[in-house]
Structure 1
């Protein structure tokens, strides 16, 4: 818990020390174009090593699970608990996610290199019996190669495509350690109030597999569809194993960000399926949560 809080404090101090020139603090817009998010058009270029939001940044003050994972298991028996942990069905969840461009015009004029970091934490804040521990924290650094474009596809404009190296882990020891590496391909399209991300991936093999067959549960592809309606933003986030029969699995998440007062926004999140966190990669549950949204997909 201490190193998680230390990291959050470090990130806060680093950003604050940069002052208001950092674009994460200014030019607030609920729904940014792909060009604004990825600096595609010349008019949207901010420069290298500027910290900007990546995935949504939010806190769910109450997140309820219909099936809490009190005894995490893995298809690798060395990574399975033998006794239940008395976790609560209700907890607090928060996510931070930042990115920065490292190089613009790498080898090719339209090829850019980005680095990103996402951290998602589930905190048993309301569980005094266990001294309010962090149940699970997932760390997700990425190195992203983006190719800027402007191609018409089925009424949309494809603005960026590329490939990324993605590492995800929970930083824990046996038997609760979970991690994996992926090569993620991606394409982003938009039209008026719509944005679509398509992300298939290939898992890289590990010598010591902590979560065997994770792609049969968490999935091999992700589709993210966002739609703005006035000051509201609706997002559908789905993953699928791309298999059928007994391996036909995945997840679906629906988010609704809505105005409260000024820049303060509320957030409702509904999730059903496998892999809400790494420790839950092969655990199915229905989840609903409510809280505050600081930044949406930008």
Structure 2
């Protein structure tokens, strides 16, 4: 705490150099080298105190919005200040300073937690080149670019037909039939995918499909003996909201408009790292899938672009000779 004559000198010096706190701090140090040296914020605080209370004496007012702004200003200029120093510079009790800073920390934690909850998570699928799922995430979730999903932009482009009937909202989309139930589409995709992959196999599939709602396909045991597949996998559908372009290597927004235009795709991911029966490792495979995206993609005039989708799992025997012709999903994407 400063003495009354020190506060007077600070105020006079602050006015002398036309309210430049940094120059006032240097000038005060030159004129009074033996005194306790105030910071630039102290000069501004003295002026505020005189304007607010018509007094230079230290008082301990109750916490107010003004005090909170002053405390935060001190912290911004010197994040390493102690609570005692902040209390002295802002004419606020130390207890109030601690309470303000605690509320500030709790507010930051709450905002960070809310932002994390709003991220496009895709039901926790953790796919390599796709984020979000329009069937499980909110349409204003935060994408990998840190911005909300452009739901309004997509709705406006869909309504305007993106320039006429040539693109999304054309007159040949069969709107008289109305949009299909997305969950019915999901169940149909899962059922057909399971049926197609069981053709030509002996016994039942050892894979597990997990759909939403009633579209759940439980895993079934194979006939006793050799399993029908060497790597355990899991498959499901997703309506991705973001992806990595296979042609440019840059993130793109995948168009999803519930329920009019949902681009669902079946993915299949590895659930084991080692093969059954054969000694080797399970390797994830991918296939390129064509999505309608924004910004307009380079593949066609309708704004489509390729994104890699998990397509299954293959077993690579430990002692097999690696083939140089095997493509790499990661190396296939430029600039990634």
- TM-score (norm. length: structure 1): 0.26
Q: Greater CA radius of gyration, 1 or 2? A: 2
Q: Of Structure 1 and Structure 2, which has the larger fraction of its residues in strand?
A: 1
- TM-score (norm. length: structure 2): 0.24
Tell which has more relative contact order, 1 or 2 (C-alpha 8 A, sep 6+): 1
